[in-house]
Amino acid sequence: MDTRARGAEPEPEPPRSVLARGLSLLDAFGSADTELTLTELAARTGLPKPTAHRLLAELVRWGGVERTAAGYRLSMRLFVLGHRAPSPRGFREAALPHMEDLYEATHENIHLAVLDGVDTLFLEKVSGRRSMPIISRVGGRLPAYCTATGKLFLALGPQERLDRVLDAGLVRHTPHTIVMPGLLRRELARTADRGYAVNREESEAGVSAVAAPILDRRRRVIAALSITGNVCRLDLDRLAPAVRTAALSLSRELARDGAPPLPPRLRTS
């Protein structure tokens, strides 16, 4: 069971407005969730079961959620809406050749990620038959503190960013997740010193990653590239120069040509 650094995980505080409550039910679905029961949705949102049931019925009528034999799942209507939203397509297109080169050199999963709130958001992924299957997907997210890409934003960003993550709580996802604030601070200090970040089975058992920052002209981290694969196969320190070279090359290209704009929500300060 997940635990937080300061004892047991507190009950989530339910949102107050009706709209916020409905949106919280949609947001309760994680990247690995195909369907959730009413009990799971109520627990994740902090809503009473009768309230969650009533709002889910409204979402079903609207078409954002579908009923299943076991509970509920997100509908294709949300997929359609998502494609209407502005996307960082130009940024992804600029990064893709560098990601493909990195894949050809390593034959491991290659990710392009940005920071969204306190989470890592995956904008692009390159993998192949030789890559280890992992839970990540384009549009998926994971907590920043337990991913290699996310640690870069925390290590090289303003103190307020780390404070927000610590205030939200450090949840244990595997036995290797760092959930003590002091240990996380030391890990981030090492990350800043060496210029790259590592994740050793901290977000998913058996999976490790090494990541390097993509910088803008003002030397701010705007995104990150990572190599992800089997913990028994990846030599993270040996692969670090490869991902750092790719990230540096992309940073220089973006600085020279002008970085394609990211949506305001994904622009880090």
Q: What is the pLDDT of residues 53-78, one digit of tens each?
A: 999 999 999 999 999 988 999 998 88
3-class SS of residue 46: coil
Q: Please, what are the domains in the chain?
A: 18-83 (1.10.10.10), 89-266 (3.30.450.40)
Find where tokens 């600085």 sit: 255
Is residue 261 pLDDT above 60, yes or no?
Answer: no
- 1: confidence class by pLDDT, cuts 50, 70, 90: very low
* Alpha-carbon separation of residue 226 from 108, 120, 177 (angstroms): 10, 12, 18
pLDDT tens figures, 141-159: 899 999 999 999 999 999 9
What is the phi/psi pair of residue 181, to 5°?
Answer: -55, -40
Provide the 8-state DSSP code for 36.
B
Contact 154, 165 (CB under 8 A): yes
Task: Give me the chain's average pLDDT, please.
Answer: 85
pLDDT score recorded for residue 140: 81
Amino acid at 55: L
Dist CA 116 CA 42 (whole Å): 24
